[in-house]
Every structure is written in structure tokens, then in C-alpha cells.
Amino acid sequence: MLTQIYEISSPDEARAVSEIGIDHVGILVGDGEFPREQPLALAAEIAAAIVTPARFSALFLAARAASIIEWARMLKPPIVHLGSAPELLGPAEVAMIKAALPDSLIMRSVPVYGEESVDSPEL
């Protein structure tokens, strides 16, 4: 089982959670569109404090593929976690992100509202 903790907001927090054995240390990254997003410079500082073998997971709530690509190219996270609603960031945009970031794993949040969620055409 993998463990992840998200919305890490300081280098001290990143160091502490990675030292206790968390697999993925998540940092919410963005330009302030959503509460608690970390600006790029601070996100880079926080990521630098992660102790291996824990891995940096950059969580993006934005639904703008170009912004996600630009930010991820600057931060170089091993994991790019896409958290926007599937209907806002669909398969074509996710494929574009993956093509632009071949060295990062792409993780997708999938909201589940009931059995109909499994049949979502956006996935």
C-alpha cells in the first residue's frame, strides 16, 4: 500500500512527513486560483526538503493543461497529480500533459458519486 499526504505547506512539514515513511509528499501547486495553493518558488523549496525515498507529488487543481505543463517543467516532480474535475480536464488534455512530461508519472483524481461514475466518458 502506498501512502500520500497532501497540502504540505512548508519545508519542515515535508521533511517531517517524509522522514516517517510516507511514500508520496503532495504539494498543492498553482497561481492562487484555489485556496492553499503554493506558488512555484515556495513549492520548489518544499519539494527540496523531501527526504528520499519519499517522492514529490505535485497536485494541480487547475484545468489548464498549458499551465500544468509549464509549472511541472519548472518543478520536475516525479508525479504529476491532476485533481481537476474530469469534465474540465479531459482525456485529450491529459494525453497532451503526458506527452509533454514523459519523465513524470501522471496520477488522476477520480471523483466517485455512485456507480455511474465508473461509466464517465471523461475518463
Query: Each residue of 86-110: pLDDT tens digit?
Result: 889 999 999 999 999 999 999 998 8
Within 8 A by CB and 6+ apart from 10, the residues are 46
Q: Which letter, b or e, does each residue of 20-50 get, where b requires 16 or more Cβ atoms within 10 Å of its Cβ?
A: eebebbbbbbbeeeeeebbeeeebbebbebb
pTM: predicted TM-score of the whole model, two decimal places: 0.90
Question: What count of residues does the chain have?
Answer: 123
Phi, psi (degrees; rounded to nearest 5) at 53: -85, 5
Residue 121 vs residue 47, higher pLDDT? 47
% of the chain exceeding 70 in pLDDT: 94
Phi, psi (degrees; rounded to nearest 5) at 55: -120, 145
